Amino acid sequence: MIRILTNFVKRIFLQLFAEKKQIKLGFYGPPNSGKTTLSNKICKDWLGEEIGVASKIPHETRNVTLKDSVVIKHRGKELSFTLVDTPGIATKIDYEEFLKYKMPEAVAKKRAKEATKGGIEAIKWLDEMDCVVVVLDATKNPYSQVNVTIIGNLAARDIPVLIVANKIDLKKASIKKVEDAFPQYEVVGLSALEGTNIEEFYESLFRIIKRR
Amino acid sequence: MLTLQFVPYTDIEKLDSAGRIKKLLTIVKEEKIVLMQGRLKPEEETGLIEKTMESIGKKFTGIEICTIYPEEVNADLFGRLKKEFYKVLIGDREGITVIGPASLIKEIRRDPNKIQLFTSVPVRRTSPRRKVVSGKAGKTHKKKR
């Protein structure tokens, strides 16, 4: 209740100073869903530089990374964002998983430790967000509890959510499965890697921010 | 051998969020699978993930968690009010939460009213294949894949 009231007051305040405020846009989701790839795509589109390094190995992003003053223009409108790329949230991390990628054991153990800290850091940042893009891998089962937990938390905090069904360039991808799993949310299917449907993403993003 | 421990709502209703998380994690760390009546609040679920991350080490690699909760599809206003009234009166006991150690449970699939546990325990000594334990509408079935 207190959270909802705080968010309400925050929004009124934001509307008063809308022109000066940067919108904190968080990228959340499970590991390896393409959060950094999407953040990089947006940064490249509007700043000409990337926010972080994307990789096929899970938990590549192990710290929250920010990129300020990302001005996105869409259909004559302009909004200024602070992009917040977060580490993947998971319920389990086993260093042995990284050994499959031919990583030395010590490096894998270090990576696992950093990944656990990154997950905690990502959760702590939830309250700071004005809007969140939940990036899901459209080739995987969307009913994972981590996805449900992240989205449920954002709803409880009254933070606007846009769900991205990423990796639609892959054969196994299904936007419908994601839509069916979260029918009360707006879902955009895209390929962050190839830039497919990115215009539709900006359209949905502006629409969700307008509704705040 | 798999041990399933039932946690009735009455066991957790008087605990605060930190107490609930601690209780559940303690059971899971004993290599047991928790079947909890009801569900955690969203902030408790993230709290559980946070505490799990803090606990990860050599022996404990994390948890698998899944909740099934009846969806309100066609409930009218009276039905919803009645449900809210019961929640205030006796607590939110609807649904079931399954939490297990990641060392035992490889994956939990929710579909959306059915839970399937993919464990790393073989069904028979001669069979190295994975065992599936699936539950639907209060029943528990065991079948070989």
Mean pLDDT by 10 residues, chain B (145 residues): 90 92 95 93 92 91 88 68 72 84 87 79 51 50 44
What's the pLDDT score for residue A17?
46
What's the pLDDT score for residue A129?
94
What's the pLDDT score for residue B121?
60
**Contact check, Cβ <8 Å, B53/A152:** no
What's the pLDDT score for residue B138?
41
Residue with tokens 């905090």: A157
Q: Are B47 and B41 in contact (CB under 8 A)?
A: no
- Gap between the Cα atoms of A159 and A154, Å rounded: 5
Of A10, A22, A37, nearest to A78 by C-alpha is A22
Strands B139-144 and B131-136: antiparallel
CA distance A76 to chain B (A): 38
User: Considering the entire predicted model, what is its pTM?
Assistant: 0.81
CA distance A172 to chain B (A): 18
Assess B13–A contact: CB distance below 8 Å, yes or no: no
What residues of chain A have any CB closer than 8 angstroms to a CB in chain B?
89-94, 112, 116-117, 119-120, 123, 126, 141, 143-146, 148-149, 152-153, 155-156, 181
Q: What b-and-e string marks burial along B36-75, b requiring 16 or more CB atoms within 10 Å of the CB?
A: bbbbbebbbbbbbbbbbbebbeeebbbbbbbbbeeeeeee
**Contact check, Cβ <8 Å, A93/B61:** yes
Per-10-residue mean pLDDT, chain A, length 212: 67 54 92 94 90 86 90 90 94 89 90 92 93 95 88 92 96 94 94 93 92 72
Q: Which residues of B touch A126 (CB under 8 A)?
A: 46
What's the pLDDT score for residue B84?
73
**Contact check, Cβ <8 Å, A93/B42:** no
On whether ipTM exceeds 0.90, the answer is no
Q: Give Cα A54 distance to the centre of its chain.
A: 13
**Residue in A with minimal Cα distance to B52:** A91
Assess B57–A contact: CB distance below 8 Å, yes or no: no
Q: What beta strand segments (E) does chain B contain?
A: 4-7, 33-37, 63-68, 96-101, 105-110, 114-119, 131-136, 139-144
Q: Are B31 and B73 in contact (CB under 8 A)?
A: no
Q: Which two tokens stand for residue B5?
A: 């421990």
What's the pLDDT score for residue B145?
41
What's the pLDDT score for residue A11?
64
How many residues are listed for chain A in this entry? 212
- Gap between the Cα atoms of A134 and A125, Å rounded: 14
Of A103, A106, A174, nearest to A136 by C-alpha is A174
Cross-strand partners of B134: B116, B141
CA distance B124 to chain A (A): 26
- Gap between the Cα atoms of A87 and A94, Å rounded: 16
Specify the amino acid at residue A162: L
What's the pLDDT score for residue B134?
57
Burial label, A142 (beta-carbon count in 10 A; 0-12, 13-18, 19+):
buried
Q: Is the four-CA dihedral A180, A122, B43, B54 of positive or negative sign?
A: positive
What's the pLDDT score for residue B144?
44
A145 closest CB neighbour out of B50, B53, B65: B65
Q: Is the four-CA dihedral B16, B17, B22, B25 of positive or negative sign?
A: positive
**Contact check, Cβ <8 Å, B52/A91:** yes
